[in-house]
Structure 1
Amino acid sequence: MRLTQFSDYALRVLMYAAEHPERLVTITELADFHRISRSHLTKVVVHLAGSGYLQSVRGRGGGLRLAREAASIRIGEVLRGTEEDFRLVECFDRRTDACVLTPHCRLACGLHAALDAFFQSLDGLTLADLTAGGGARIDTQTVALPTPTGRARRTVPAA
């Protein structure tokens, strides 16, 4: 399973806003910090505001802030709202299931259990657990991390 870029960006936006509760953050600031397109972030922010996670303040000096306490925002809940498809295999959707093994297959049960465990784990995490409220801190310093091949290096925000 792989989360969409939309979900990734949504979590980044929420984490950044949680790290800066004392002020409004802007889409431009978020885009610059994460090196992400403003237009992509705008779509994410509109969704998060419509879902009740962010409050948007319009006008000069406007920006974004969390609409709820970080400790009340469950990561599993966020992902259920940002991901469109948790069908890990064809048989998860009875409308399109054409697999001949479905009536006797035990794999689907195992995959359903794994998906349930995935969400159970994420439902136990709050936004506060991922940010300063839980001991982590996102700042503008970067650290070098080796890539899986060990050759090239990339930088990410220091935690």
Structure 2
Amino acid sequence: MQLNKFTDYGLRILMTVAHDREMPYTIAELAKQLHVSENHLVKIVHFMAKQNWLITTRGKGGGIRFNPQVMQAHLGDVVRILQGEVDIVECHNPPCVLRVQCGLKGILNQAVNTFYLQLNQYKIADVLQLNPQTSPNKNAIPLLNLSS
């Protein structure tokens, strides 16, 4: 399974803005830092603010902040929400002649659910590894190396 760009950029945004600092982040700053267009980021940040993962404020001194409550969110749940409903295989458009006798869609859907269950063993805090001594899973593997 491959993460869509919306999910990829959303995770990059979370990982970036989670690093607390005095001034909030701006779209322009994130776009430059993450090498992503501002237009993409506006949509993603707006979506993530609606999920209450980010805190956004307008005007002078405004910007984007990380909502610390998201630290305890399960990674699989966050990825599933960012990904949206995705059919891993399309059986109806165009109609597949094998669908009457095919068990592939069910098997692939089960694999996708297992993928999310595996990710749910980790919380956002594990991915960020801001303070490994207090992370609930000190043996967290670097699941998402999105810098490439």
Same-fold call, TM > 0.5? yes
Is residue 116 of structure 1 aligned with residue 109 of structure 2? no
Q: CA RMSD in A?
A: 2.3
- Pair 1:108–1:96, CA change in 2 (3 A): same
The alignment status of 1:67 with 2:67, answered yes or no, reads yes
Q: CA deviation at 1:62?
A: 1.3
* Deviation for aligned residue 1:124: 2.1
Residue matched to 1:126: 123
Aligned equivalents of 2:70 and 2:83: distance in 1? Answer: 20
Select the structure of larger CA radius of gyration: 1
Name 1:104's counterpart in structure 2.
101
Please give the secondary structure, in 1, of the residue aligned with 2:41: helix
Q: Distance in 2 between matches of 1:43 and 1:36?
A: 12
Structure 1 residues 90 and 128, CA gap change in structure 2 (3 angstroms): same
Deviations 1:100-142 (A, max 9, x none): 322322322321221111111122222111113364xxxxxxx
Shift of residue 29 of structure 1? 1.8
**What residue ranges of structure 1 are gaps of 5+ in the alignment?**
136-155
Aligned to 1:64, the other structure's residue is in SS state strand
1:58 is matched with which residue? 58
More strand by share: 1
Deviation for aligned residue 1:44:
0.7
Between the two proteins, the alignment pairs up a number of residues equal to 134
Give the match for residue 24 of structure 1. 24
1:45 counterpart letter in structure 2: V
Query: Which position in structure 2 is the counterpart of 1:48?
Result: 48
Mapped partners of 1:42, 1:104: distance in 2: 44
Deviations 1:47-89 (A, max 9, x none): 1101111110222111111224242222222222222342111
- TM-score (structure 2 length as normaliser): 0.76
Unaligned runs of 5+ in 2: 133-146
